[in-house]
Structure 1
Amino acid sequence: MSVLRRGILASAADRYASQALSIATLAVMSRLLTPAEIGLFVVANAVILLADNFRAFGTGTYIVQAPELTPEILRSAFTVTFVFSAGIFCALVAMSGPIAVFYGEAEMGGLLRLAATGFLLIPFVTPQVALLQREMRFRRLAVLNVGAAACNFAVTIALGAQGYGPASYVWGSLASSAMLTILVLAMRPQPGLFRPCFRQARPILSFGTVTTGVTLVNLVYELLPRLAFARLLSFEAVGLYARAVTLCQLPERTVTSALQPVVLPALAARARAGGDLKEGYLRGHALMSGVQWPMLAMLALLAEPAVRILLGPQWVEAAPLVRLMALGLMTLAPAFMTFPVLIAAGRVRDGLWASLISLPPSMLLMIGAGTIGLEAVAASTLVVAPLQMGVALVFVRRAIGLTWRDMARASRDSLALALGTALIPGLILAASPEGSSLGWVRTAAAVAGGAAGWAVMLAILRHPIGTEGAAILRMMLPARGVRRA
């Protein structure tokens, strides 16, 4: 358990530093670029992310969960990744022109060709990073990720300020990939790893076919509506929708950014040792929901001030979208553990089935809502999010022996935390003559009241967040007397 906590602590330091840089980039670039320019990048980035799914082909996940590793497996993983990356690079360059013509935006072709260059760097990073994850060397991973994130931030902001527009994001991503490659090769030089080998390619491809299918279905669900909205509505609408989604995902990333890199290695190690996966799943859900639910409740109440502070006044139209999405996304608290726990339980195909059952109808519902307007799209989250989580829980219950009563028990205290957090902000909002447009003083009072309510309820309920926080704090403090206090 102490090893796991050290991993979470190192991962938290890594991810929160990267998240802080990401939020700073979001705030600055939202003021430098218009919603239409952001929308153009979002659509181009959606194409890149879909292509990146095929590039990875599950090789990193295969290395993390493999019962045994040999040099041939690692070399085969690199070879498979490189072949797919080179193929995707050529395909993107060839298709960039037709995609630009389809959307009637010549600049998109240049963005896609520029972004495709990064696919030639990533194969030299993927096996190395997966090895560090498998070995739970999260301090080294923190150095890699923060260095790459800092490089991305510096280049993106500098070019954005110089008027490079959407291309600023692409150049920042390329600089980040280059920095990550340099750091990995300097930290863990293994030139023998890059010799071509196909001897173990078959099991890697077999595993990758399933994991890539799961990731692809999830990516298509996330990205295809954005591609459709660019045709149904406008690039400006895509920009508003994407920024609303980003704000609503901040509470989730607050927790998963620290837990996600640790979850699969920890669950895989527990499964190899014959441990109980259900206990880990329920504790992970309690930790996740104990932070995410109160933050989402606050975001739903304070959507307009949050948009003005983080994005600027030109994005105020995103506030109603944020309010609806935040409420819908509360049901997805345990979603980040679904795929890792199914992989650790040896039921990776169940993850694919869960995605195939829930995501296509969700996607169709969202695109259909797009024919009505953006608020209808945001409202559809109230339906599609519970649908997705319900289907996922059916498969998770079968894999680890989970019951609905177990989930209710693990959720009870987190729900009380959320209600306690929302009490004072809700009263301030109800008493405000300005409605949801709170001034700076009332906004500050609402945030302080929410934080105080969360802290008081945390102490009353003895929530697992308090236990884990205290344990990690004791590890950080050197003096025994201070640790006891």
Structure 2
Amino acid sequence: MSNVRQAVLFSFATRYSAMIVGLVSAMVVARLLTPDEIGTFAIASAIVMVMSEFRLLGAGMYLVRENELTDAKIRSATGLTILISWGMGLGIWTAAPAIAAFYELEPIKVIFRILSISFFLAPAISIPTALLTRDFRFRQLFIVRICTSLTNLASTIGLIMLGYSFYALAWGYTLAVIAELFLIFFFRPQGMPWTPNFKNLGPIARFGIYNSLAGFFRRGVVTAPDMIIGKLGTTTQVGLFSRGLGFIEFVSQTLMMGVKPVVLPYLSQVQRSGDNVNDAYIAATVLLGGIIWPILAVASVVSLPAIRLFFGDQWDAAAPYATLIAYWAMFRSVHWFSSDLLVAKGKEKLMVLKEGGMFAFYVSGIALAFPSGLMAVAGVFTVAGLVDLVLTTWLLTRFVGLQPLRMARSWLPNLAVTALCWGAAWLIFNNGDFVSKGVPNTFWAVAAILPLVWLMVIFMVRHPLKQEVILFLRWFANHWPRPRS
């Protein structure tokens, strides 16, 4: 378990470092660009990012999961990624004028073509990244991520200052991908084969199509509002809803994605060793829930001061959407590792069916709710999150053998921690002076007090995180510089 713990620590370090850089970028960009400008980019990037789920066709996950990895399999994965990714890059470039005409937004054509560059670079990045992940080399991946994040930050803000408006967001992303290419080439595993092989692609494609479809549906859930509202409403509405959803996604993904890169290798390792994967899954969800549920519950309370502090008062209208979406994120996080469990168990087809059904639910709900306003759209997210939780629990019980009552009992400490943290945040917020002074003083009060409340409660209810905190404190004490005598 030591290599897994170290991998989790570096994965968390990667995400938290990227979070800080991303937060700085979002704070600056939100003040330099208008909701209309950000909405225009959101429409174009939503379409491209959804399509990006197919550009690797699951080749990376295939390499991570394989019991015996050979040079031939790596070459075939590279060949398949080239065929799919380059083909999609060319398709995006060609389709750009038609998409721009559909949305009646000419700038989308240029944004599409800038973002298409990343598709041509993807094969040279994704395959060595998968091999580094398989070997738990998250220290190197940490360096790659922080450098690419800084590249994105510097280039985006610099180009905005030069007057490139929303085009700066597209170029910032693309320049970061180019930087990632050079860094991954430097850290690539020794002896890694680079020459692609276009034979024996069937096993990888069969595995990859399920994972890519599932990723497409998952990504589509958070990008569908941009595409649907962009067609039915205005770019300003897209920008405001995207900011509310983006704020909650930023909070939740920073936490969940810090652990997720380690989960599939870990569950696959457990499966290969013959241990109980379901037990490992429940333990992982409880640990994640003990962190993310209290934070999201608090975020639902302080969404207005948080958004005003980080993005400026021109985004105040996004706060009510963020409050409802926070509950959606809580429901969704319970089974955030379900895709990894299904992959480890070889149930990729079931994963796709579930994700596809939920995607259809979201799309139809958003389209039907939009005439009633953006709050109705946010409400659809909350309801859909609850439906997703119930459906996923049933599927894992029926087809994987998960014990729902055992999982529910394991989650009781999470509910206690969340309720107490939410209550503390509500008391602070409703007795603060945010309204009277017009500044988010209560946000800072919540940020200062709630970590102590959380720490006290996990010890009080004997949450499994208690042991992780103790281990961290021991590690910190052993590594803290001691004064020389």
Q: Return the offset for 1:191.
A: 8.3
1:416 Cα deviation from its structure 2 partner: 0.9
Residue pair 1:423, 1:453 contacting (<8 A) in 2 also: no
28 and 398 in structure 1: CA distance in 2 versus 1, 3 angstrom threshold: same
- Corresponding residue number in structure 1 for 2:33: 33
Contact between 2:128 and 2:189, CA under 8 Å: does it hold in 1?
no
TM-score, structure 1 length as denominator?
0.94
Contact 1:5–1:472 under 8 Å retained in 2: no
Cα distance, 1:63 vs structure 2: 0.6
Is this contact kept in 2: 1:229–1:370, CA < 8 A?
yes
Describe the SS at the equivalent of 1:136: coil
Q: Partner letter of residue 296 of structure 1?
A: L
Cα distance between partner residues in 2 of 1:476 and 1:435: 40
User: Do residues 209 (structure 1) and 209 (structure 2) align?
Assistant: yes
- Cα deviation, residue 466, structure 1: 2.4
Distance 1:332 1:368, change over 3 A: same
Q: Which residue of 2 aligns with 1:103?
A: 103
Partner of 2:346: 346
Alpha-carbon offset, residue 51 of structure 1? 2.2
Q: Secondary structure in 2 aligned to 1:194?
A: coil
Offset at 1:474? 3.5
User: Structure 1 stretch 92-101 or stretch 160-169: which is displaced more?
Assistant: 160-169
What's the counterpart of residue 141 of structure 2?
141
Counterpart-to-counterpart distance in 2, 1:438 and 1:270:
52
Which residue of the partner structure matches residue 392 of structure 2?
392
Show the 5 A alignment for 1:224-303: 224-303=224-303
Write the distance in 2 (CA, Å) between the matches of 1:441 and 1:244. Answer: 20
Which amino acid in 1 is paired with 2:367? I
Give yes or no for contact 2:433–2:441 (8 Å, CA) kept in 1: no
- What residue ranges of structure 1 are gaps of 5+ in the alignment? none
Asked whether the equivalents of residues 156 and 171 of structure 1 are also in contact (C-alpha less than 8 Å), the reply is yes
CA RMSD of aligned residues (A): 2.1
Correspondences of 1:403-418 after superposition (within 5 Å)? 403-418=403-418
Partner of 1:112: 112
CA distance in 2 between counterparts of 1:474 and 1:271 reads 31
Residue 418 (structure 1) shift: 1.2
1:477 and 1:56 map into 2 onto residues whose CA distance is 43
Residues in 2 aligned to 1:177 and 1:76: alpha-carbon distance in whole angstroms? 23
Task: Report the counterpart of residue 193 of structure 1 in structure 2.
Answer: 193
Q: Deviations 1:370-396 (Å, cap 9, x if unpaired)? A: 122111111112210011121112222
Q: Which position in structure 1 is the counterpart of 2:314?
A: 314
Q: Is the 8 A contact 2:434 2:441 kept in 1?
A: no
After TM superposition, the structure 1 stretch with the greater mean CA deviation from structure 2, 268-277 or 331-340, is 331-340
Q: What's the % identity of the aligned pairs?
A: 28
What amino acid is aligned across from residue 134 of structure 1 in structure 2?
A: R
Letter in 2 for 1:131: L
Q: Indicate whether 1:337 and 2:337 are aligned.
A: yes
In 2, Cα distance between the equivalents of 1:85 and 1:333? 30
Please name the residue that 1:370 is paired with. Answer: 370
Q: In the alignment, what sits opposite 2:222?
A: 222
> Is the Cα contact below 8 Å between 1:342 and 1:399 reproduced in 2?
no
Aligned twin of 1:72: 72
Q: TM-score w.r.t. structure 2 length?
A: 0.94
Asked if the contact 2:225–2:238 (Cα under 8 Å) also holds between the matched residues in 1, the reply is no
* Higher mean C-alpha deviation, range 39-48 or range 192-201: 192-201
Aligned twin of 1:457 = 457
Report the CA distance between 1:251 and its aligned residue: 3.2
- Alpha-carbon distance change, 202 to 298 in structure 1, aligned in 2, over 3 angstroms: same
